[in-house]
Amino acid sequence: MDRKEILLLQEAEQKRIAEGLHDTAVQDLICLSQRMELILLYMDQDITRAKLETVSARKEVKRIIGEMRETIYDLRPMMLDDIGWEASFERLRDKLLCENSELSVCFDIDAVDLSDGITAISVYRIVSEGCQNMMKHSKANRIEVSVKNDGKLIRISICDNGIGIEKESSFEKNHFGLQFMSERVEALSGKMKIVSDTDGTVIKIEIPTESEV
Ligand SMILES: Nc1ncnc2c1ncn2[C@@H]1O[C@H](COP(=O)(O)OP(=O)(O)OP(=O)(O)O)[C@@H](O)[C@H]1O
Ligand SMILES: [Mg+2]
């Protein structure tokens, strides 16, 4: 991958984040602003209704703050330095369980050299995208993630027991997660393999540690 391709990848990733924010936070804030106008009207006509609407709007504000925090958290590569490697994966695991408490989540994560920042954050982002895909698309009730590091190679495995990836749906227009994952792996001189059928999906990735590149 040459410098221009890496810049294009960065631009595409930023575009995806911007579109994500536009589709969620901005839309939510527009709705909220309309609700505020409604509350102003109710204030003159029905103060109880105005109060109830205010309480529910406040809840909505809290939800938007939570969502924006998640986006900012996902954007910040410094996160691993701040809370550490293990805590970052624990946080991800908690997030999955929070979305679906019935889910069986098994994480087996070896330590990775954080001084090699780009490899560490890439491993985290790959696992995070794999988990998000599983939650969004797979209908699985079990996910197993392992990150094994023997000092030369980092081996990532993300497995779910869901419905599998439909042939036509992967690497499609407006679906960037798997494409970014594969481009990131390529930029780090690694290899990626996806095996998916109606019993689930297995993504296996190998990335050389920086000392081995
Ligand atoms: N674990 C999975 N199980 C079932 N289907 C999957 C899984 N992972 C991906 N897919 C399918 O592959 C498609 C492409 O995934 P990809 O991550 O590239 O895009 P996306 O998740 O739809 O959108 P984005 O990641 O850009 O927000 C998904 O739309 C989904 O149909
Ligand atoms: Mg995705």
pLDDT digits (tens, 9 = 90+) for 74-129: 776 556 777 888 988 998 999 999 999 999 999 999 998 888 778 888 999 999 99
Q: Is 192 in the pocket of ligand 1 (CB under 6 A)?
A: no
Mark whether 55 and 114 lie in a shared domain: no
Residue 80 sits at φ, ψ, to 5 deg, of: -65, -35
Kindly state if the Cβ of 162 falls inside 6 Å of ligand 1: yes
CA–centroid distance, 137 to ligand 1, in Å, is 6
Laid out side by side, the sheet with 104-109 consists of 104-109, 142-149, 153-160, 200-208, 191-197
Strands in 58-185 per DSSP E: 104-109, 142-149, 153-160
Do 158 and 108 contact (CB within 8 A), yes or no? no
Global pTM reads 0.82
Q: Rounded CA gap, 20 and 13, in Å?
A: 11
State the Cα–Cα distance between residues 207 and 201, nearest whole angstrom.
20
Residues 40 and 140 in one domain: no
Report residue 70's pLDDT band, with 50, 70 and 90 as the boundaries: confident
CB atoms within 10 A of CB 173: 5
Q: Domain with 197 in it: what CATH number? A: 3.30.565.10
Tokens standing for residue 128: 């995070």
* Same domain flag for 111 and 140: yes
**Structural domain containing residue 40:** 3-75
- Tokens 């996902």 found at: 74
For residue 152, give every residue at least 6 positions away whose Cβ sits within 8 Å of its Cβ, in sequence order, or none: 208, 209, 211, 212
Give nearest CA residue, ligand 1 atom 12. 170
Q: At 199, is the pLDDT very low, low, confident or very high (cuts 50, 70, 90)? A: very high
Please, which pLDDT band fits residue 68 given cuts at 50, 70 and 90?
Answer: confident
Q: Quick one: which atom of ligand 1 is closest to the CA of 136?
A: 21
- Residues within 5 Å of ion ligand 2, judged at the Cβ atom: 133, 177
The count of domains in the chain is 2
**Token pair in block for residue 185:** 């792996």
